[in-house]
Amino acid sequence: SDPEPSIYGSAGEEAFSVSGVVNKVQDAVVVINVTIHGTSAFGKPMTSTGAGSGVIISPEGYILTCHHVVEGASSVQVTLRNHDVYDAILVGSDETSDLAVLKISVDEQLTYVEQGHSANLVAGEQVVSIGNPLGTLGGSVTVGYISATERNVITGDGTEMTLIQTDAAINSGNSGGGLFNLSGELIGIVNAKYSASGVEGLAFAIPIDSAYPVQLDLM
């Protein structure tokens, strides 16, 4: 259910420190590596690889990430914070929302995130991003603020989306990672940044209120 909105934002008055947020959620953020098999223009087999991030959303091993991270993948591997590596299956993917759900099979119960309410975000609220920038720096933490709660953005493929804007540092490989409030709640899935000469601090995330019904449908 939706809590009462607060002037303090989605975390309310009893916010954690940034290190407290990281301690609570870092084990639930994973590294995703994909392998894509295809054919070259000359008809020869070719293989490419890619990397991104994901967030564990249930103790059974369901993982929320971005559609563009796993699009076209022939195989997907997930690496946990303890460096254990698992083969993942693609449960479902949706190009329009840029969301996908993976699943890994693990014997023990996994740490998973609590999903918050992005509708309660306010401009100026501090947020924490955890992901895998450059595809090689898994578990990296960056901190910023909510720049705008509902920004209409047209992505590189022409898709129009309403996203959270933040100035937290985001780089290639962060896609699919979590954007958390200071209560340690997942309030967004990082999916884009604006890159151009002279541009800094323009990153975007899919609001969790938009992502939640999509993930349920995919599952």
> Annotated active-site positions, please?
68, 98, 175
SS (H, E, C) 5-57: CCCCCCCCCCCCCHHHHHHHHHHHEEEEEEEEEEECCCCCEEEEEEEEEEEEC
φ, ψ for residue 190 (rounded to 5)? -60, 130
Which pairing describes strands 185-193 and 114-115: parallel, antiparallel, or unpaired?
A: parallel
- What does DSSP assign to residue 146? E
Decide: helix, strand or coil at residue 112: coil
Neighbour tally for 164: CB within 10 Å:
27
Q: How far is CA 86 from CA 127, 159, 174, in A?
A: 29, 32, 19
- Find the angle CA(57)-CA(58)-CA(60) to the nearest 5 degrees: 140
